[in-house]
Chain A
């Protein structure tokens, strides 16, 4: 059985169930790169142009982990997922960046992913991928139907508060068996905003989410907001961003700021040198200042950031919030 490798980063957090289900239905074995570790990062830093941001470097690291184990690398050219915005230019050029980095890579499947209307475009995308792998028409259609189901379920689970890793683990269980996180009991609830590939990667984010959970803090991320609610924010800004993930993060954060009353603070996780985030971070900061003035913490990650440093900042932030909440509570009495 031919093997197709998918790197465990970037769009993996949004599209993995879709891609995996489809490729498996076509009869391929899907090989996922191991979770990010020091070696991934070191190899990525070595292979990538030094000015790139750390998520792009990690992507190259994951490619390095896969390249000798698979027959194909699955690096679709992500152009657009909603027909309005594009992905960050680095995503647009990703297959090219990878292709020209080394000579010893297996064939790359770099089909363009450009969605206008999700349903129709996703089919034509998968159809092109399937044809390229010379799959039969019937298996492509079967795969498409299965893949869409998986994609839908995955995003439903996310909207119920699960994180991507948890949601992917439970794709095969029936809804009744899944226990969703109960909110409301935590002493504090924080919005952790940013791009899924930074927030949900435990290694590069210095176990940020896990450490917050250990402190007994409720967490909500833009990925946990239903598409419907995010869409409502589309017309909220005078000018939207050009980038899919930035728009999602911006709209999600605005939704949390304006519509959900029980957020105690915002943590924005951003990567050193991230182009879109230079704009997004300032915008969120200014929006927050002009709205409910929630405490706002920017955590910037890069190839040198360590867990201890991030943890210290988190603890200080949480202490400050707890103190604030306590003193506000006592004032009301």
Chain B
């Protein structure tokens, strides 16, 4: 291997890659670099990425599997030696993706190291071994620093993103929010330590506040629920949040990578979601299926005007959740629009359905206030 010669602070430096996952991606890059690896940053998925994935993935694997495989097939030819990824440990399929990706890639002649993290509490020993594999001889202190820095960066990214969703629905000049958002993310990408991250965060938020807005406009509020990857990766959900924002809607998705530290008005924890879902689905069915049900109840309680459910085609937990939606929507009095996304889903189709959905919510709001 050509990698044996490259060493930095005792770390065996590897060319590492990972899956693209929305804006959070910039954080993984700095985190892995902090540990001492060379990072081959995955490009934002394009139709070409998807068609690469579709070509080699099983037909009925879900779109996250295909996009992630396609992404690996774009970064592996550039010399990536290690792939870092994560998944739950059953019963959702995602926990098996590391293994199947490895087999498919090997079949194609690639043999990268794959470090696939399971939840630490489910498989503690396995988690520890994988950390050792990830740090490649580096010190634990460095690893801890990298993770801490990465995490605060991640929180800043999410803060800026949430703010941008609120701004976009009220902006006067289309595109202002996007520019301000990009500025904030660029600051964050360059931030080197905790202090700079904090500065970048407040600069980013300030830039968004400066966007000229219509103060009288009362936007619709829509909750976004469903499977994690299609929620987080705009390339997989046809830039849903931006599209909704341009229609004058404030979207709020339920999943942020930092959700579990968040405690504001809208966020509720995993535990609360499960509690709310209990009358409908009393046990964990894998993925975010049970959460999706609980989240609808939650958004209804918070006075949201509607909910968009996002899921990849053939996603098992979300199918179970969807089959309960008609009943749930009636009981809770909140409209739910479901998108099952696959490689055949088109941007125009999604937009048309969203427009109709927004019209419906506007009408309903009119009726209620009258």
Bound CA span A85–B95, Å: 13
Contacts of B91 in A (CB 8 A): 86-89, 92, 242-243
Interface majority SS (helix, strand, loop, mixed), chain A: mixed
Given contacts A100-B324, A242-B90, A283-B100, whether A273 and B314 have CB atoms under 8 Å apart is: yes
Given contacts A243-B91, A275-B315, A281-B58, whether A52 and B100 have CB atoms under 8 Å apart is: no
Contacts of B59 in A (CB 8 A): 278
Q: Which residues of B, 94-134, contact A by the 8 Å Cβ criterion?
A: 95-96, 98-100, 103-104, 107
Instruction: Say yes or no: B322 contacts A286, CB within 8 Å.
Output: no
Bound CA span A79–B59, Å: 27
How many whole Å from A64's CB to the nearest CB in chain B? Answer: 15
Instruction: Say yes or no: B58 contacts A89, CB within 8 Å.
Output: no
Instruction: Say yes or no: B280 contacts A275, CB within 8 Å.
Output: no
Q: Interface range on chain A: under 10, 10 to 19, 20 to 34, or 35 or more? A: 35 or more
A148 within 8 A of B: no
Given contacts A100-B327, A274-B60, whether A279 and B96 have CB atoms under 8 Å apart is: yes
Given contacts A52-B323, A97-B320, whether A92 and B283 have CB atoms under 8 Å apart is: yes
Bound CA span A78–B286, Å: 14
Q: Contact check: which of A238, A275, A289 meets B314 at CB < 8 Å?
A: A275
Q: Contact check: which of B90, B99, B285 meets A238 at CB < 8 Å?
A: B99
Contacts of A85 in B (CB 8 A): 90
A259 within 8 A of B: no
Contacts of A275 in B (CB 8 A): 60, 62, 93, 314-316
Bound CA span A289–B323, Å: 38
B317 within 8 A of A: yes
Contacts of B151 in A (CB 8 A): none
Known: A92-B284, A100-B280, A276-B316. 5 other contacts (CB 8 A): A51-B319, A93-B289, A96-B281, A101-B323, A242-B92
User: A residues touching B (Cβ–Cβ < 8 Å)?
Assistant: 48-49, 51-52, 77, 79, 85-90, 92-93, 96-97, 100-101, 112, 238-239, 241-243, 272-279, 281-283, 286, 289
User: B residues touching A (Cβ–Cβ < 8 Å)?
Assistant: 58-62, 65, 89-93, 95-96, 98-100, 103-104, 107, 280-287, 289, 313-317, 319-320, 322-324, 326-328, 340
Contact sample, A vs B, 28 pairs, CB 8 Å cutoff = A86-B90, A87-B91, A89-B289, A90-B319, A90-B320, A92-B283, A92-B285, A93-B285, A93-B289, A93-B323, A96-B282, A97-B323, A100-B323, A239-B98, A242-B92, A243-B90, A243-B91, A275-B315, A276-B316, A278-B60, A279-B93, A281-B58, A282-B61, A282-B103, A283-B100, A286-B104, A286-B107, A289-B107
